[in-house]
Amino acid sequence: MPRQGPAADTVNDSPERARSRHLSPLLRLLRFTWPYRGRLLLALIALVLAAVALLAFGQVIRAVVDRGLAADSPQALNLALGLFLGVVLVFAASVAMRSYLLNWIGERVVADIRRAVYTHALALDVGFYETTRTGELIARLTSDTALLQVVVGSTLAMGLRSAILALGGLVMLAVTSPKLTALVLLGIPLVILPTWLIGHRVRRLSRQSQDRIGDIGAYVDETLHAIRTVQASCHEPLDAERYGARVEEAFTTAMQRSVASALLAGVASLLAFGAIGTVLWIGGHAVLAGEISGGELSAFLFYAVLMAGSVGSLSEIVGQLLRGAGAAERLMELLETAPAIQPPPRPSALPRRVAGSIRAERLTFRYPARPETPALANVELDIAPGERVALVGPSGAGKSTLFHLLLRFYDPQQGRLTFDGVDLRTLDPSALRRHIAVVPQDPVIFGASAAENIRYGTESAGDAQVHAAAAAAHADVFIQRLPQGYDTFLGERGVRLSGGERQRIAIARAILRDPALLLLDEATSALDAESERLVQDALSHLMIGRTSVVIAHRLATVREADRILVLDHGRIVAQGRHAQLLAQGGLYARLAALQFQDLPAAAVG
Ligand SMILES: Nc1ncnc2c1ncn2[C@@H]1O[C@H](COP(=O)(O)OP(=O)(O)OP(=O)(O)O)[C@@H](O)[C@H]1O
């Protein structure tokens, strides 16, 4: 299925490139804001009310000056103050309401998007993760959503507010004094343009400065994670030097930014107050000439400052909106990426009692990333329920690929694969996987307790079942010896387990799952004799009464297998029992001598 994943090269994008060229992707967020339209409407009402109240201040100022001060009337002044307090009350209430409602919507929408994206990411097929770096997905879930939160929660509203204030301010200016308005309109670019240009440079430098800090973080992360390799290679002085160079780069960029911000502060103050002074001077003369009243001049000044402020902030707001649009575009693209492996509209059902038979008919599969060479070619296979099958073959023969297809991580391009007689393509992948347990070569231990690690995938199991599974997998003994027994935290920041212990946890996990089909990839690393015996014993126990397919690396496994399949270049080149295949000589005999570490030389014959 052709699909358009998020561009794989955007993870280290500078914020400049991460911007969208249009604001239209923001419209795609409507789907997430729509459920909260009631609150959104209220927030908009509050926003407009706050802007109108702010504009009304100008009129109150005018009344205070003209009716109260100039007319020398205490009553009028009292009345004006009352009016002022009324406007303040409306303004304060609507600002508080707007701020709360918009923040709520911003946080809510981002929480919904995070959940939707993560749930969708979990459903994407394995092939997707071969072409996308997980770091990129994490960036989507953290930084892109954080950016959207700011955009939805404040920037959009600020943009609307600034537009209302700029337009409203202009109308009020024109109403107050058309002549002065013409002057202000001529003057605004003189004030805004230089400030905007320097401001643009400041923003670019601060983003660069953040990028430099990101570089520092990435370097620390890489070296400290690999501290053993760093120390073993005596790489510390070199790393300290390289890190130092990066820190200095960050400092230099930060200093350039500081110079630009200092310049901005100076120029902006100079221009703003210079402009106010000029309006006051021209307006003052107009007042003296009796063209306008003192109140009108005060109101005029108020609107001019309001308008200039709003126009000035628009460029920054648009920049932020474009970055938000970029984030929205990437997130929505991810959400619209269709998984290549999906349940069919009407999935077939497996029998109530799954027996665990497997059949492959002319099975041919090529990995999407390597369409030229088939990883499996024309494989014909019939595995009976309860059969123990060992897969043997040189590296790259296609053993793991067969597992991937059995788990329906991919669909074959030709032929078909059935489980209990049902074509895998017609099954819901999770309905199929429920009947399969996988014990990988190097099992994953999650950052959770020992009991939770065994329960992984069978969450409904009770404590007694977990303990029984652990006992059957010979994991019970070492778990009991852990500081808090089954409650001991395992994984990266907890107790680290040895290879053999990890395998036994994985075996216990598989026993608890009680699957019809067991896929086992035997560890290649040699365990000590005692661990080996425990693991082997646990595995034999696990295989009883179920179909098992094992990528074999041990003599005991091939000896006990009902059938050995020898794979080479994606084809089954021989099959039979161990002794038979050895007697035939050929690839199996050669592989046996090389692969089974525990095979005495004599047995290879
Ligand atoms: N995700 C992938 N994308 C592209 N090609 C792949 C992918 N995984 C495996 N291959 C290729 O498919 C072929 C079969 O690989 P597979 O992993 O099934 O071999 P294997 O027999 O399990 O090998 P090993 O014993 O080394 O694990 C190899 O040529 C391999 O390079």
> Closest ligand 1 atom, CA of 126?
1
Taking the centre of ligand 1 as the mean of its atom positions, its distance from the CA of residue 367, in whole angstroms, is: 9
Give pLDDT tens digits for 369-410. Answer: 888 999 999 999 999 999 999 999 888 899 999 999 999 999
- The amino acid present at 52, given as its one-letter code, is V
Residue predicted with more confidence, 139 or 36 = 36
Mean pLDDT, rounded, for 61-78: 78
Task: Give yes or no: residues 534 and 469 share one domain.
Answer: no
Task: Give yes or no: residues 594 and 480 share one domain.
Answer: no
Mean pLDDT, rounded, for 271-296: 86
Tell whether 106 is covered by a domain.
Answer: yes
Taking the centre of ligand 1 as the mean of its atom positions, its distance from the CA of residue 401, in whole angstroms, is: 6
Task: Give yes or no: residues 483 and 468 share one domain.
Answer: yes
Kindly report the protein residue whose alpha carbon is nearest to atom 18 of ligand 1.
Answer: 398
Residue predicted with more confidence, 4 or 91 = 91
Task: Give yes or no: residues 522 and 398 share one domain.
Answer: yes
| pLDDT band of 415, cuts 50, 70, 90 | very high
Q: Measured from the CB, is residue 382 less than 6 Å from ligand 1?
A: no
Q: Measured from the CB, is residue 440 less than 6 Å from ligand 1?
A: no
Q: Measured from the CB, is residue 409 less than 6 Å from ligand 1?
A: no
pTM of the model: 0.78
Tell whether 205 is covered by a domain.
Answer: no
Least confident of 21-25, 341-345, 466-470: 21-25
| pLDDT band of 579, cuts 50, 70, 90 | confident
Taking the centre of ligand 1 as the mean of its atom positions, its distance from the CA of residue 375, in whole angstroms, is: 7
The CATH code of the domain that includes 112 is 1.20.1560.10
| pLDDT band of 467, cuts 50, 70, 90 | very high
Per-residue pLDDT at 601 exceeds 50:
no
Taking the centre of ligand 1 as the mean of its atom positions, its distance from the CA of residue 575, in whole angstroms, is: 21
Q: Measured from the CB, is residue 367 less than 6 Å from ligand 1?
A: yes
| pLDDT band of 528, cuts 50, 70, 90 | low
Task: Give yes or no: residues 427 and 455 share one domain.
Answer: no
Mean pLDDT, rounded, for 108-135: 88
Task: Give yes or no: residues 483 and 586 share one domain.
Answer: no
Kindly report the protein residue whose alpha carbon is nearest to atom 27 of ligand 1.
Answer: 395
Kindly report the protein residue whose alpha carbon is nearest to atom 16 of ligand 1.
Answer: 398
Mean pLDDT, rounded, for 515-534: 77
Per-residue pLDDT at 343 exceeds 70:
yes
Give pLDDT tens digits for 134-155. Answer: 777 887 888 888 888 888 888 8
Taking the centre of ligand 1 as the mean of its atom positions, its distance from the CA of residue 402, in whole angstroms, is: 10
Tell whether 269 is covered by a domain.
Answer: no
- How far is 586 from 38, CA to CA, in rounded Å? 75
Pocket test for ligand 1, best of 126, 366, 367 (most atoms within 8 A of CB): 367
Tell whether 4 is covered by a domain.
Answer: no
Task: Give yes or no: residues 414 and 449 share one domain.
Answer: no
| pLDDT band of 599, cuts 50, 70, 90 | very low
Domain that holds residue 574: 362-435+516-605
Pick the last residue of a domain from 460, 481, 514: 514
The total of structural domains in the chain comes to 3
Query: Do 177 and 286 contact (CB within 8 A), yes or no?
Result: yes
Mean pLDDT, rounded, for 496-523: 88
Q: Measured from the CB, is residue 398 less than 6 Å from ligand 1?
A: yes
Q: Measured from the CB, is residue 275 less than 6 Å from ligand 1?
A: no
The CATH code of the domain that includes 586 is 3.40.50.300
Residue 364, pLDDT score? 94
Q: Measured from the CB, is residue 441 less than 6 Å from ligand 1?
A: no
In degrees, to the nearest 5, what angle opens at C-alpha 433 toward C-alphas 427 and 436? 130
Tell whether 67 is covered by a domain.
Answer: yes
Taking the centre of ligand 1 as the mean of its atom positions, its distance from the CA of residue 396, in whole angstroms, is: 5
Pick the last residue of a domain from 454, 479, 514: 514
> Closest ligand 1 atom, CA of 404?
18
Residue 139, pLDDT score? 78
Q: What are 224's two structure tokens? A: 């400290």
Q: Measured from the CB, is residue 481 less than 6 Å from ligand 1?
A: no
pLDDT averaged over every residue in the chain: 85
Q: Measured from the CB, is residue 401 less than 6 Å from ligand 1?
A: yes
Residues 6+ apart with CB under 8 A from 225: none
Residue 154, pLDDT score? 84
Query: Do 473 and 507 contact (CB within 8 A), yes or no?
Result: yes
Taking the centre of ligand 1 as the mean of its atom positions, its distance from the CA of residue 399, in whole angstroms, is: 8
Distances (CA, A) of 191 to 166, 173, 185, 270, 318: 15, 17, 11, 9, 19
Give pLDDT tens digits for 165-201. Answer: 889 888 988 888 888 888 878 877 887 788 788 888 8
To which H or E segment does residue 68 belong?
Answer: none
Q: Measured from the CB, is residue 591 less than 6 Å from ligand 1?
A: no
Tell whether 262 is covered by a domain.
Answer: no
Residue 585, pLDDT score? 82
Q: Measured from the CB, is residue 366 less than 6 Å from ligand 1?
A: no
E strands, 473-544, where?
A: 517-521
Tell whether 192 is covered by a domain.
Answer: no
Taking the centre of ligand 1 as the mean of its atom positions, its distance from the CA of residue 400, in whole angstroms, is: 7
Taking the centre of ligand 1 as the mean of its atom positions, its distance from the CA of residue 473, in whole angstroms, is: 29
Kindly report the protein residue whose alpha carbon is nearest to atom 26 of ligand 1.
Answer: 395
Query: Do 448 and 497 contact (CB within 8 A), yes or no?
Result: no
Query: Do 401 and 368 contact (CB within 8 A), yes or no?
Result: no
Task: Give yes or no: residues 520 and 502 share one domain.
Answer: no
Least confident of 31-35, 203-207, 464-468, 471-475: 203-207
Residue 526, pLDDT score? 57
Mean pLDDT, rounded, for 253-271: 86
Task: Give yes or no: residues 484 and 597 share one domain.
Answer: no
Tell whether 283 is covered by a domain.
Answer: no
Closest CA to 376 of 349, 351, 342, 399: 399
| pLDDT band of 304, cuts 50, 70, 90 | confident
> How many CB atoms are closer than 10 A to CB 433?
18
Closest CA to 523 of 510, 542, 536: 536
Kindly report the protein residue whose alpha carbon is nearest to atom 17 of ligand 1.
Answer: 400
> Closest ligand 1 atom, CA of 398?
18
Closest CA to 274 of 376, 347, 187, 352: 187
Task: Give yes or no: residues 402 and 521 share one domain.
Answer: yes
Q: Measured from the CB, is residue 395 less than 6 Å from ligand 1?
A: yes
Give pLDDT tens digits for 547-567. Answer: 999 998 888 788 888 999 999
Task: Give yes or no: residues 524 and 492 share one domain.
Answer: no
Q: Measured from the CB, is residue 396 less than 6 Å from ligand 1?
A: yes
In degrees, to the nearest 5, what angle opens at C-alpha 476 toward C-alphas 505 and 536? 60
Kindly report the protein residue whose alpha carbon is nearest to atom 19 of ligand 1.
Answer: 396
Pick the last residue of a domain from 489, 514, 539: 514
To which H or E segment does residue 187 belong?
Answer: helix 178-225
Residue predicted with more confidence, 552 or 46 = 46
Q: What are 381's two structure tokens? A: 């296979």
DSSP per residue, 384-449:
-TT-EEEEE-STTSSHHHHHHHHTTSS--SEEEEEETTEEGGGS-HHHHHTTEEEE-SS----SSB
To which H or E segment does residue 156 belong?
Answer: helix 156-176
To which H or E segment does residue 233 belong?
Answer: none
Residue 598, pLDDT score? 54
Per-position b or e across 509-526, b if 16+ CB within 10 A of its CB: bbbbbebbbbbbbbbeee
Per-residue pLDDT at 238 exceeds 90:
yes
Query: Do 562 and 387 contact (CB within 8 A), yes or no?
Result: yes
Kindly report the protein residue whose alpha carbon is nearest to atom 2 of ligand 1.
Answer: 367
Residue 597, pLDDT score? 56
Task: Give yes or no: residues 472 and 421 share one domain.
Answer: no
Q: Measured from the CB, is residue 442 less than 6 Å from ligand 1?
A: no
Query: Do 140 and 326 contact (CB within 8 A), yes or no?
Result: no
Taking the centre of ligand 1 as the mean of its atom positions, its distance from the CA of residue 395, in whole angstroms, is: 8
